[in-house]
A and B are shown apart, each in its own frame.
Chain A
Amino acid sequence: MRFEYFQMIDRIVALDLGTRTVRSVCSVPQESTIFEGHFPSYPLMPGVLLLECMAQTCGWLVTSLNGFTAMPFLAGVKEAKFRTAVHPGDHLEFEGKVVHEGSGYAVAECRGRRQEQAVCDAQITFRVMSFPSPEFRKALVEWAERIEVPVKELIK
């Protein structure tokens, strides 16, 4: 997890296009300037960043489903819940499922866990749009390869 680059997911450990499911893992850094403010002497991972973890997990799934032909942009969040505190050094796992692929949008559900403990969950809506530029797509593909998305098998 690299807060400063907003790269929340360390690795995609499972991706199933048939069931439209994904599993990701990440480790919360031990140190970050974010923890200096959130909160002084009591570092907690902000809920909005847990939400970003869920969005990125499901976003990789949406992008994989369309073969890296279009980009999911976060458009809406429903029923987001942050069930327990997350601290520096915690190891998190996220499970996502695309529950609907519409025309130009997708809806996913995601939940986060620390070991077997529920951490967060939400329903997330994405607008799915063309990549703004070839460079953007290239950067996203390289990012996907870094976190072990099986890009070569997926790309169209």
Chain B
Amino acid sequence: MSATFDKVADIIAETCDIPRENIKPESHAINDLEIDSLDFLDIAFAIDKTFGIKLPLEQWTQEVNDGKATTDQYFVLQNLSDQIDKLIAAKGA
């Protein structure tokens, strides 16, 4: 498990009051953890602050709505963590 995933899982546990042990890399934030869009705003805020990035939620939503991406690509937590790592790397480049 990556350090990024651990931080994301801690944020979700604290923000949504979900037991930490229930949050796994393969968990889907919406389908498995039942996080709604309003709670996800709080999570996005905490992730943006923690990692110094800006999650491109509008772009991701558009891609999903247009059928160019699946929610799994962004909301399965390991994939979300990988996206965060890419954004961190892009920021430092």
| Complex Cα–Cα for A47 and B41 (A) | 25
Residues of B bordering A, CB below 8 Å: 38, 41-42, 44-45, 48-49, 54-59, 61
Q: How far is the CB of A136 from chain B (nearest CB, A)?
A: 19
Chain A interface main SS type: strand
> How many pairs of A and B residues are in contact by the CB < 8 Å rule?
35
| Complex Cα–Cα for A44 and B20 (A) | 44
Contact with B along A74-104 (1 / 0, CB 8 A): 0110000000000000000000000011111
Partner of A102, one of B38, B44, B59, B61: B44
Q: Are A103 and B41 in contact (CB under 8 A)?
A: no
| Chain B residue contacts of A101, Cβ below 8 A | 54
Among residues 89 to 129 in chain A, which have CB atoms less than 8 Å away from a CB atom of chain B? Answer: 100-105, 107, 125, 127
| Complex Cα–Cα for A131 and B74 (A) | 26
Q: Are A102 and B42 in contact (CB under 8 A)?
A: no
Residues of A bordering B, CB below 8 Å: 75-76, 100-105, 107, 125, 127
| Chain B residue contacts of A127, Cβ below 8 A | 41
| Complex Cα–Cα for A103 and B74 (A) | 14
| Chain B residue contacts of A76, Cβ below 8 A | 38, 41-42
Given contacts A75-B38, A125-B42, A127-B41, contact A105 B57 (CB under 8 A): yes
| Complex Cα–Cα for A103 and B45 (A) | 10
Q: Are B48 and A104 in contact (CB under 8 A)?
A: no
| Complex Cα–Cα for A125 and B44 (A) | 12
Q: Are B41 and A105 in contact (CB under 8 A)?
A: yes
| Chain A residue contacts of B59, Cβ below 8 A | 103
| Complex Cα–Cα for A101 and B55 (A) | 11
| Chain B residue contacts of A103, Cβ below 8 A | 44, 54-59
